[in-house]
Amino acid sequence: MPARSMSGSIVLNMPDHLGRRGLLTGGAALLLGAAANSLPVPRDDRLLFQLIRNNSVMGSHRLDFNLSASGLAVTVNVLMALYFGPFRIFHYAHHAVETWDGNECVSVVSQTDHDGKRYQLVAKRDGMGWQVMGASGDVRAPSDALPATHWNRQMLRGPMINTENGDILRPKIADLGPEMVPAFDAAPIRAEHFALSGDVQMDTWYDGTNSWAGAAFKGADGSVIRYERA
């Protein structure tokens, strides 16, 4: 694997949290454990990706999974930055918390700083589907919609809720089959490749456990940004 410049990189440095099994006891642990086992929750309760542009790290995307008596919470933190010499010319920060009750996602809240433009989102499930309040206004999403947080392959089955602005996305999805996808300073991962087009333009990969294995998309300047699992 070629060496990568680390200049201008931003890597999250977050303290380890308690494993989900240590938080639960008795019948609640059995119930919630069964629900978590049906979702692609990583064994070490986290996913970390380095974001690669032009062979350099430009940021990171981290997901932390916390199973408690109230359900599963998935915390997402994304940081990106581009520099021209000592000057920062682009930055992006996104924080979201996605909450599950058993096998059903019931809410997502987020805050985003997209190069100085700030957004907030609150989306909650109710008896008629989803109520989504964000930069795109107050909209309704159908009950089969899921937040576009990418870790859950089930997201590809129905509409997606953009967790930055609240748009309801319905991309076309093509299954391109299994292939080897690069990992960050590690052996490539065998994963299923899906190409999204229309509302969303990106490629995404899921490994044999249905865990998110990588992604790729084009930035505003046409450069390719790759997610490599670390």
Residues 158-213: tens digit of each pLDDT: 999 999 999 999 999 999 999 999 999 999 999 999 999 999 999 999 999 999 99
The Cα 124–Cα 126 span in angstroms is: 6
The pLDDT, as a whole number, for residue 36 is 53
The pLDDT, as a whole number, for residue 38 is 86
Q: What is the pTM of this model?
A: 0.84
CB neighbours (10 Å) of residue 196? 20
Q: pLDDT, tens digit, for every residue of 67-123?
A: 999 899 999 999 999 999 999 999 999 999 999 999 999 999 999 999 999 999 999
Here the contacts of 1-8 (C-beta below 8 Å, separation 24 or greater) are 1/182, 1/185, 2/55, 4/52, 4/55, 4/56, 4/57, 5/55, 5/56, 5/57, 6/56, 6/57, 7/56, 7/83, 8/56, 8/57, 8/58, 8/81, 8/82, 8/83
pLDDT of 8 > 50? The answer is: no
The pLDDT, as a whole number, for residue 37 is 58
